[in-house]
Structure 1
Amino acid sequence: MKSAFLLLLSLCIIPTAAARDYVVGVENLEYSPIYATNNGKYEGYARDLLDAFGKASGHTFSYRPLPVKRLFADFLGGKLDFKYPDNPQWAASERGDKTLYYSEVTLVATDGVMVAAAREPGKTLTRLVTIRGFTPWVYMDAIGKGSIALQEVNDLDAALSSVLAGRAEGAYGNVVVAAKRLQENGQAGALVFDRELPYADADFSLSTMAHPQVIDEFNAFLRDQADLVAALKKRHGVDID
């Protein structure tokens, strides 16, 4: 499997404009297998995908992990070349009139609610927890009306612990990441994805304000190297099914 992956990577050299060094702002979260920062090192599917593009294009990417809200601020303040992940729907009010360029979708991530395994599927929520800086779009109307109280915490472990301790009825986030984290913590099956509650597919893209030509190169890479991208997704287990 590894040799086949390396062969695919060796075949995906693509012509580009002059190669450069770039800084990619990333979320300083344990969000494995999609991405994680361990001892200052960024890793996971996102890292391997961007590194593969870098090898193909000749560009060099360094990764700067930041808290979610600061990441938006530094990116919009021009301190970063790129941001990953990003989505045109995120932080719309903070973007103002700035022009951002987004790549094609690199991953469709399912965001939903993890609940206690014994909880009745589809039962109405009144207390929801998510990671600070994340927006549970499909619940914002109910949150705005006051029928759901939203709690924000610093990381995924805290969100899952809040549900396990009964402080919240559900934790909103990526369901693949949450299931993997529970397994790593020796709590596999303690919380489950409730498919009968509202959930959303979030498109993960690479974004920039200053380098649209690199986004064009990245889009060409995603299209031309679809087999490589699929191999990376399979290798990291980032698909829900």
Structure 2
Amino acid sequence: MNQLEKILKQFMYFSVVMLLFMCNARSATHYVVGVENIEYLPYYDGSGIDKADYYGFSEKLLTLFAQQHEFELEFYALPINRLYKEFIEHRHVDFKYPDNPKWKPSYKASFMDVNDIIYSRPIVETKTGIASLNKKITISECVSFATVRGFTPQSFKSLMYSKKIELIETANVMELIELLLKERVKCIYISNDVLDYNIVKYFKLIRPVYFQNQLSVDLQTFSLSSIEYPGIVKKFDQFLVSHKIQINKLKQQYHIKN
């Protein structure tokens, strides 16, 4: 083997080593975040309606976190029930957002020790309840009731399972609000922030929509969860504390109250 052949061989070996190193480095910093494929602005939109894969407050927040640690995040939008399968059963996503220890506890427990799921500290707290065209309404007057498919109205389960109530599950928030405005249903289950944001942005109201603060409300927090990467969740917790001022400005930008 002459000198030129030795140099070429060494060069090829070095190139292969560098390629493997680059691939390993990428896989170590590239993560898939499973998100919901619905429009739930201002929090997030994974519906693809505006030809964007994922955007809103949550995308900005998670991207800012990734930039601080030189991570590459890929957002994978799925229907809510399938998202749980991909996260819990198949482990095809590294993180789930949003998540909450109180969501689908029996489903999670049927596949694994629920303590194996690590949750970040709460990012936002949503106020979710009943909205109606009536200024004030009672639960007994909610003879027809709509919610986004996959959502569980904790304080209003009786409405979902009552044979006397007409229940409609919609694919997205826009459809949910339209059902109410067209008087197809008496009540809808929705976050007050989401209701306000969507009405201002997408609807010209003939009559006002009222969030029923006098009825029970579900205060639900959004967290980032993971099974395989508790260390990243811990870094995210630290980020939420160290970047609190930036995060609050981001909330103000998206008119998020909590």
The TM-score by the shorter chain falls in which range? 0.7 to 0.9
Is 1:217 equivalent to 2:235 in the alignment? yes
List gaps (5 residues or longer) in structure 2: 1-26
Question: 2:92 is matched with which residue?
Answer: 79
Separation in 2, partners of 1:219, 1:169 = 40
Residue 41 of structure 2 aligns to a residue whose secondary structure is: coil
Distance 1:187 1:135 in 2: 29
How far residue 46 of structure 1 moved from its aligned partner, in angstroms, is 0.3
Tell me the distance in 1 between the aligned counterparts of 2:127 and 2:237: 22
Aligned match of 2:244 = 226
* CA–CA separation in structure 2 for the residues paired with 1:147 and 1:211: 45
Distance in 2 between residues matched to 1:190 and 1:120, nearest whole Å: 9
1:92 aligned to 2:109? no
User: Counterpart of 1:85 in structure 2: which amino acid?
Assistant: P
Secondary structure of 1:222's match? helix
Residue 23 of structure 1 and its aligned partner are, at CA, apart by: 0.4
Q: Go from structure 1 to structure 2 and tell me whether the alpha carbon gap of 1:33 and 1:142 turns closer, same or farther (over 3 Å shift).
A: closer
Counterpart among 45, 67, 84 of residue 57 in structure 2: 45
Q: How far apart are residue 167 of structure 1 and its match?
A: 2.2
| Equivalent AA in structure 1 for residue 29 of structure 2 | R
- C-alpha separation in 1, matches of 2:165 and 2:154: 13
Once residues 98 and 144 of structure 2 are traced to their aligned partners in structure 1, the CA distance between those partners, rounded to angstroms, is 27
Q: Secondary structure at the match of 1:42?
A: coil
TM-score by length of 2: 0.80
Q: Show structure 1 runs of 5+ residues with no match.
A: 1-17
1:239 is aligned to 2:248: no
Q: Is the 8 A contact 2:33 2:75 kept in 1?
A: yes
Contact 2:37 2:77 (C-alpha < 8 Å) held by counterparts: yes
Change (3 A) 1:233 1:120: closer
How many angstroms does 1:233 deviate by?
Answer: 0.7
Whether the 8 Å contact between 1:103 and 1:215 is mirrored in structure 2 is yes
> What code does the residue aligned with 1:164 have?
L
- How far the C-alpha of 1:66 sits from its partner, in A, is 1.0
User: Partner letter of residue 192 of structure 1?
Assistant: Y
* 1:187 corresponds to which of 194, 201, 204: 204
Residue 8 of structure 1 corresponds to which residue in structure 2?
A: none
Are 2:183 and 1:166 aligned?
yes
Q: Which aligned pairs between 1:1-241 and structure 2 lie closer than 5 A?
A: 20-37=29-46, 38-76=50-88, 77-96=90-109, 97-98=112-113, 99-116=116-133, 119-124=134-139, 125-146=142-163, 148-188=165-205, 190-239=208-257
Alpha-carbon distance in 2 for matches of 1:142, 1:186: 27
* Range with greater deviation from structure 2 (141-150 or 210-219): 141-150
Whichever of the two has the greater Rg, that structure is 2
Partner of 2:250: helix, strand, or coil? helix
| Number of residue-to-residue matches in the alignment | 221
Structure holding more helix per residue: 2
Percentage identity across paired residues of the two chains: 27
Which residue identity lines up with residue 69 of structure 2 in the other structure? Answer: S
Normalized against structure 1, the TM-score is what? Answer: 0.85
Give 1:235 shift.
Answer: 1.3
**Aligned-residue offset at 1:187:** 2.9
